[in-house]
Amino acid sequence: MKHVKYGKCVRCGRTYEAVPGLTTCECGGILDIVYDYDYIRQTLTKEKLKEREHTMWRYRELLPIEEDTAPTPLRVGWSPLYEEPRLAEQLGLGRLWVKDDGQNPTASLKDRASAMAVAKAAEAGARVIACSSTGNAASSLAGNAAAAGLKTYIFVPSRAPKGKVAQLMTFGATVVSVQGSYEDTFELSKAAIDRWGWYNRNAAINPYLSEGKKTVSLEIMEQLCWQVPDYIALSVGDGCTIAGVWKGLKDLYAIGFIDKLPRLISVQAEGCCPLNRAIATGEPWRPMEENTLADSIAVGVPRNADKALMAIRESGGLVVNVSDQEIMAAQKLLGAACGVFGEPAGVTGTAGVKKLCEQGVLGRGDSVVSIVTGNGLKDVANAIKACGEPISIPGDMELLLRAFADRGIVVE
Ligand SMILES: *Cc1c(COP(=O)(O)O)cnc(C)c1O
Ligand SMILES: [Zn+2]
């Protein structure tokens, strides 16, 4: 990889050759992939991008893959970025865009990391990939691996929503539902990976994953014609996504594609916000209980805390925590105002934006991109809880009229 220098530990600074099976530093620190931006600046232009396929692989000069590594089979990336003027008006914001990453092939942003894992496993000559996950890393890995003809072993906590488990079974993974927390699930997967030597797609352990995730911010900037918004808001669990988003932005800045950097808005659930608490108090992060219905961000022991905290701080970012009620309200709002259906963790970023508008932190002078990270069909039970049940009557016009009258529905 001529464009990649090495993997560098974010804790001690030690560097490692960027081999496909790279994991963490000897000191336990997470590695960051370091690029040769001078080289990339000579090989990648905005013009060149215009002719490329609409997948995450269009940015291959900024991705840690060999020149001859084939793109993975499923169409990952290039999800729509919708401008939402009515919702912006309603919230009192200058401009608002929604990046609907629930439109990836297995319906979450995690496809970006899993496609990268599949590409790197191919480079490593591996036949089997494994991970633990709150659900979406698992289903995206199972789907992207199935398409590439690879086997998967998946560990999920037993609380994982049915839609995600159904995806895993459909994609032919060997699935272990662990009766315990995400932390317990992670530890069992780690022991199994150590024992059988599978290719490791565990969050943060594998430094290539957030390089896949960063393609979401590369896309946002290209879709905005390289005009930088004031803020990018998203939900945070392990912290890999927000670290990836920041990495993508810094890449673009380093090669001169953008001339400034936006600030990040890190949104967590009140019942599980170890990273936001660390930022707010200035103290080191400490584990928390996993007490939220937003299962994808119910992460009490964040795996990528170092990189995530660095990203938020470097960007001059904001942190905001939202209640489960506020998450459910955002689910309804995004659905009804924008036609975008997100899972609870998927809409948590937007819930944070709404809250910051209500607090007067954000306003008419601000432009914001809010990333919806996962699709609502993955967790139908919570969507019904948030948005209610339909009118249920026998097929009778009189009963329909009465039902409308009872509910004060005036037909236009
Ligand atoms: C994984 C996930 C997140 C959070 O990403 P992290 O890298 O864990 O911070 C947010 N939303 C959804 C839908 C996810 O699946
Ligand atoms: Zn180190």
List of residues 6+ apart from 88 with CB closer than 8 A: 94, 95, 96
Tokens (6 digits) for 165: 């488990």
Q: Which domains does the chain have, with CATH numbers?
A: 4-63+109-200 (3.40.50.1100), 81-104+209-387 (3.40.50.1100)
Ligand 1 pocket mutation pick from 116, 168, 296 by most atoms within 8 angstroms of CB: 296
| Residue ranges at the known binding site for pyridoxal 5'-phosphate | 136, 373
Which residues share a beta bridge with 367? 95
d(CA 263, CA 316): 6
Q: Whose CA is nearest to atom 14 of ligand 1?
A: 296
pLDDT at 203 (0 to 100) = 77
Q: Which two tokens stand for residue 299?
A: 């992460």
Give strand ranges (E) for 169-317: 174-178, 199-200, 231-235, 263-269
pLDDT tens digit string along 179-200? 998 889 999 999 999 999 999 9
- Taking the CA of residue 244 as reference, the ligand 1 atom at the shortest distance is 7
Rounded distance from Cα 249 to ligand 2 centre (Å) = 24
Mean local confidence (pLDDT), 324-341: 98
Q: Which residues contact 358 (CB under 8 A, 6 or more apart)?
A: none
Mean pLDDT, rounded, for 5-32: 96
The alpha carbon of 373 and the centre of ligand 1 are apart by a number of angstroms equal to 7
Q: What is the residue-wise DSSP string for 132-180? A: E-SSHHHHHHHHHHHHHT-EEEEEEETTS-HHHHHHHHHTT-EEEEESS
**pLDDT mean over 234-252:** 97
> Could you read off the pLDDT of 102-113 as tens digits, one per residue?
999 999 999 999
State in Å: Cα 135 to ligand 1 middle.
Answer: 10
Please tell me if the CB atom of residue 374 comes closer than 6 angstroms to any atom of ligand 1: yes
- Region 345-368: mean pLDDT is 98
Name the closest ligand to CA 182.
1
Residue 345, ligand 1, Cβ within 6 A: yes
pLDDT digits (tens, 9 = 90+) for 258-312: 999 999 999 999 999 999 999 999 999 999 999 999 999 999 999 999 999 999 9
Provide the pLDDT confidence category of residue 202 given band limits of 50, 70 and 90: confident
